Amino acid sequence: MLLKILVGFLTGLRALAAGTDTTQQRLPPPPPLLLVSFDGFRADYLLRFPMPNLKLLYSQGVLVEQLKNVFITKTFPNHYTLVTGLYAESHGILSSHMYDPVSHKLFSPMKDTDPTWWSKAEPLWLTARKSGYKTATTMWPGSDVINRTATHFLPYNPDVTFRERLGNVTKWMQGDGNEQGVMFAVLYWEEPDRSGHIFGPENTTAMGKALKEVDDNIGLLMLELKRANLWGRINIIVTSDHGMAQCSTERIIRLDDCLHPDNYTVVDLSPVAAIIPRKDPKAIYALLSKCHAHMTAYLKKDIPDRLHYKNNKRIQQILLIADEGWTILQRGSTITKLGDHGYDNSLSSMHPFLAATGPSFRQGYRISSLQSVDIYPLMCHLLSIPPQPNNGTLTQARCLLAAETCGDTMLVIGLVVGAQIALITIIVLFRLLRRRSMPTPRAFQRLEVDDDDDSPLMG
């Protein structure tokens, strides 16, 4: 009887757990999705500065306090990660400056529209477009690449104001009588990155002013979406690519003090230097490995696996990584930035945040951290689009969604596992007790009789 009860209990729990997976099949068509990036928004700015509009936004939705981005923690790699779900070594956009040893081409922010650089991955605006959706991009890194654009796009122009960029996005998302609105749009803004580089993140006065402007723009975003009757009807994700570290003229690493510049070529300089040796790579590495206590040198094959920054032909033979806040320079150059990024992605100063709101998200919910590669599968899920191969997972990101009973599901799984363990334990104990209660067969003994049994029978 006890076994029947336990089996029935387990069957019910399994049905409850399975029910959470079938719920999505009954959902209506997905709402449109808007992804907004404010470049260089360090996660702890939310704690250090008043951000009333941003806090209002995520109070009606969700907050990821720290988004662990990918190495190198720079603008181009991380913006491409957000829309592909891939590490830099996989999508091929390794930094803001690159050299391709096969094509012998150089990449820079001013020479970024050649599709050769971007062809290793498909951004979400292309995948969504292939799925039949209209898409839009506004200044997003990689969005104006030849033959790889969204339905609507604005090529990068720093002179275009946030209001103008937002105006285009809302117009495209609204659509009109003749054209359906876009289902997926991305919007990029340069601040607070620009101010962070100039003043450094520890300059409270300057950064306070920059972040007030950012928060005002978030307020404008909310207002314009309400005016366009999009607020509450679309899903909105507000995030960033990286944080910012404070630099100083007292924290300088000069390569030429360790190695004559005739011995190497620099592709990207600071805070991660990509080095092409002109002579024996091992000899060059030996000198650079002893160059400075606040800089670590790696041969390509020895770059730590945790950085996911090794398996790509565009990664040069030697990589130099400066410690947080240190700047790598060559002879004759001086420090021009009091704030910088690109450092090890394990540093909290390099992490941005993520906030989201809309009909698909929970309200008043927050988690401490999430991997940036997980945002892409989350967005594909929101749009009901099959994702391209990626390095992310929905395991933790799905907890942000209103339709997911993330905590309850984990409880159900725990109950199922616990009940199974209890059932196995009871069965084992039952069998042991049953064995003990059974009579034990006596060992064979020779029958003993009295001596007079051998007497002759009496007639």
152 strand-pairing partners? 136
Ramachandran sector of residue 40 (left: φ over 0; alpha: ψ -120 to 50; beta: rest) = left
Average pLDDT for 81-103: 98
On the question of pLDDT at 344 being above 50, the answer is: yes
Alpha helices in 384-452 (DSSP H): 406-437
Residue 391 near residue 85 (C-beta atoms within 8 A): yes
Using the CB atoms, write b or e for 190-207: b if 16+ within 10 Å. Answer: bbbbebbbebbbbbeebb
What pLDDT is stored for residue 420 in this prediction? 74
Residues 328, 44: Cα–Cα separation, whole Å: 26
Judged by average pLDDT, the poorest of 19-28, 126-135, 196-205, 342-351 is 19-28
Q: Which amino acid is at 427?
A: I
The 3-state DSSP class for residue 109 equals coil
What pLDDT is stored for residue 62 in this prediction? 99
Average pLDDT for 263-283: 97
Q: Between these two residues, 442 and 55, which has the higher pLDDT value?
A: 55
What pLDDT is stored for residue 60 in this prediction? 98
Q: For 278-312, how does the pLDDT look when each residue is reduced to its tens digit (9 = 90+)?
A: 999 999 999 999 999 999 999 999 999 999 999 99
What pLDDT is stored for residue 421 in this prediction? 77
Residue indicated by tokens 């049994």? 453
Half-sphere exposure at residue 448, Cβ-oriented, CA atoms within 13 angstroms: 1
Q: What percent of the chain has pLDDT over 70?
A: 84
Residues 330, 76: Cα–Cα separation, whole Å: 24
For the chain, the residue count is 459
Judged by average pLDDT, the poorest of 239-253, 388-402, 411-425 is 411-425
Average pLDDT for 184-211: 99
Q: Which two tokens stand for residue 371?
A: 């991997």
Query: Helix, strand, coil shares of the chain as percentages rounded to 5?
Result: 40, 20, 45
Using the CB atoms, write b or e for 416-427: b if 16+ within 10 Å. Answer: beebeeebeeee
What pLDDT is stored for residue 20 in this prediction? 47
What pLDDT is stored for residue 10 in this prediction? 46
Helices 2-22 and 406-437 cross at an angle (nearest 10°) of 160
Q: For 360-410, how does the pLDDT look when each residue is reduced to its tens digit (9 = 90+)?
A: 999 999 999 999 999 999 999 999 999 999 999 999 999 999 999 876 555
What pLDDT is stored for residue 451 in this prediction? 44
On the question of pLDDT at 48 being above 80, the answer is: yes
| Secondary structure string (H, E, C) spanning 353-370 | CEEEECCCECCCEEEEEE
Q: What is the pTM of this model?
A: 0.84
253 strand-pairing partners? 328
Going by pLDDT thresholds of 50, 70 and 90, the confidence category of residue 319 is very high
Q: Between these two residues, 448 and 370, which has the higher pLDDT value?
A: 370
Burial of 120 (0-12, 13-18, 19+ CB in 10 A): middle
Q: Which residues are catalytic?
A: 75
What pLDDT is stored for residue 423 in this prediction? 74
- List the chain domain ranges: 33-86+121-245+344-400, 252-339
Task: Report the relative pairing of strands 235-239 and 354-357 from DSSP bridges.
Answer: antiparallel
| Secondary structure string (H, E, C) spanning 220-268 | HHHHHHHHCCCCCCCEEEEECCCCCEECCCCCEEEHHHCCCHHHEEEEE
Q: Which fold has domain 252-339?
A: Gyrase A; domain 2 (3.30.1360)
On the question of pLDDT at 434 being above 90, the answer is: no
On the question of pLDDT at 24 being above 60, the answer is: no
Going by pLDDT thresholds of 50, 70 and 90, the confidence category of residue 454 is very low
Task: Report the relative pairing of strands 106-107 and 98-99 from DSSP bridges.
Answer: antiparallel
Q: Between these two residues, 140 and 442, which has the higher pLDDT value?
A: 140
Going by pLDDT thresholds of 50, 70 and 90, the confidence category of residue 445 is very low
User: CATH number of 33-86+121-245+344-400: 3.40.720.10, 3.40.50.300, 3.30.420.40, 3.10.180.10?
Assistant: 3.40.720.10
On the question of pLDDT at 449 being above 50, the answer is: no
Q: Which of 342, 351, 356 is nearest to 372 (CA)?
A: 351
Going by pLDDT thresholds of 50, 70 and 90, the confidence category of residue 422 is low
Going by pLDDT thresholds of 50, 70 and 90, the confidence category of residue 179 is confident
Q: Between these two residues, 204 and 28, which has the higher pLDDT value?
A: 204
